[in-house]
């Protein structure tokens, strides 16, 4: 595991943006998995700004998001489809058929999950997966306790995120919501992974995920086992990591 600690949020966003652009420039037809949320919004904006100033070839690039909400219309501005479409797909002139996403509405989500994986495999497999981390250590939407070997599935959301989605969409308290997420085993098959976290609120879970035991209780801890995983942090998110750990892993 390689560790990169940037001094502040701006430097973190720039570093994340360059990891996405580098993947696009290095491989025609790169397959890049993204993550939505506050962690990645800034880096997506910088990717878009750099593309506008210095356009590069995106005609073969395949983008997807690691997870998606279920049982809400895609037009909900907080759906992962809508967010990535708005933040990157439109800005980078990605052909719509190169944006691979599961449907948010389906009468057979098992088939939808299998179809999502099949399309990623047909595209050549994932070259780079960007991930955020939830306050409880979730990656994608795989909550603590998810078996590492579970394939892409529909998971419950964490309570904080679910409450926000319910507030924003106004759906009834008993309306079933979930998150279609690539399984941890599927995420681990990505050729390269960047786990990104910024802000003091992520410092403790980052310490547990990187320095604690590999355990299904903290889904992100599985990334300790990935042969090409970089952890990209700002100084606040890195603030609880022991100095010798930082020294041993820093790039």
Interface residues with ligand GLP (CB under 6 A) are: 35-39, 66-67, 132, 134, 140-141, 161
For 140, counting Cβ atoms within 10 Å of its Cβ (0-12 exposed, 13-18 middle, 19+ buried), the class is buried
Smallest CA-to-CA distance from 190 within 218, 222, 145 is with: 222
Q: Which sign does the torsion angle of CA 191, 35, 97, 23 carry?
A: negative
Nearer to ligand GLP, 95 or 156 (CB): 156
Work out the number of other CB atoms within 10 angstroms of the CB of residue 235.
16
Length of the chain counted residue by residue: 251
d(CA 27, CA 16): 17
d(CA 81, CA 229): 25
Nearer to ligand GLP, 38 or 59 (CB): 38
Residue 76 CB, nearest approach to ligand GLP (Å): 14
If you ran DSSP here, which 8-state letter would residue 131 be given? E
Residue 243 CB, nearest approach to ligand GLP (Å): 25
27 phi/psi in degrees, rounded to 5:
-140, 115
Nearer to ligand GLP, 31 or 60 (CB): 31
Place of tokens 């960047």: 194
Six token digits for residue 107: 């009468």
Residue 39 CB, nearest approach to ligand GLP (Å): 3
Tell me which residue has its CB nearest to ligand GLP: 132
Nearer to ligand GLP, 31 or 220 (CB): 220
Q: Measured between alpha carbons, how far is residue 242 from residues 78, 180, 194 in Å? A: 36, 35, 21
Beta bridge partners of 128: 32, 192
Nearer to ligand GLP, 23 or 70 (CB): 70
Residue 28 CB, nearest approach to ligand GLP (Å): 27
Nearer to ligand GLP, 39 or 146 (CB): 39
Residue 36 CB, nearest approach to ligand GLP (Å): 6
Nearer to ligand GLP, 66 or 89 (CB): 66
Residue 82 CB, nearest approach to ligand GLP (Å): 13
Contact 13, 124 (CB under 8 A): no
Residue 201 CB, nearest approach to ligand GLP (Å): 8
Sheet (strand 153-155) strand order? 67-70, 178-181, 153-155
């Amino acid at each position: 595991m390689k560790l990169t600690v940037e001094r502040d949020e701006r430097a973190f966003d720039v570093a994340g943006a360059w990891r996405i652009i580098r993947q696009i420039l290095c491989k025609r037809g790169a397959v890049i998995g993204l993550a939505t949320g506050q962690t990645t919004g800034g880096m997506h904006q910088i990717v878009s700004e750099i593309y506008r100033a210095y356009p590069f070839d995106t005609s073969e690039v395949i983008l997807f998001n690691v997870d998606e909400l279920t049982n809400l219309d895609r037009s909900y501005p907080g759906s992962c489809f809508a967010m990535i479409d708005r933040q990157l797909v439109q800005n980078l002139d990605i052909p719509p058929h190169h944006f691979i996403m599961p449907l948010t509405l389906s009468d057979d989500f098992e088939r939808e999950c299998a179809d999502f994986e099949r399309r990623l495999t047909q595209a050549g497999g994932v070259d780079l997966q960007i991930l955020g981390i939830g306050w409880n250590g979730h990656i994608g939407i795989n909550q603590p306790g998810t078996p590492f070997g579970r394939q892409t599935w529909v998971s419950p959301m964490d309570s904080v995120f679910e409450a926000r989605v319910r507030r924003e969409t106004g759906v009834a308290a008993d309306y079933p919501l979930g998150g279609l997420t690539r399984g941890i085993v599927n995420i681990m098959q990505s050729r390269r992974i960047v786990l990104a976290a910024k802000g003091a609120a992520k410092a403790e879970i980052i310490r547990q995920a990187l320095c604690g035991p590999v355990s299904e209780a903290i889904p992100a801890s599985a990334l300790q086992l990935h042969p090409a995983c970089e952890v990209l942090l700002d100084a606040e998110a890195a603030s609880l990591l022991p100095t010798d750990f930082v020294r041993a892993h820093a790039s």
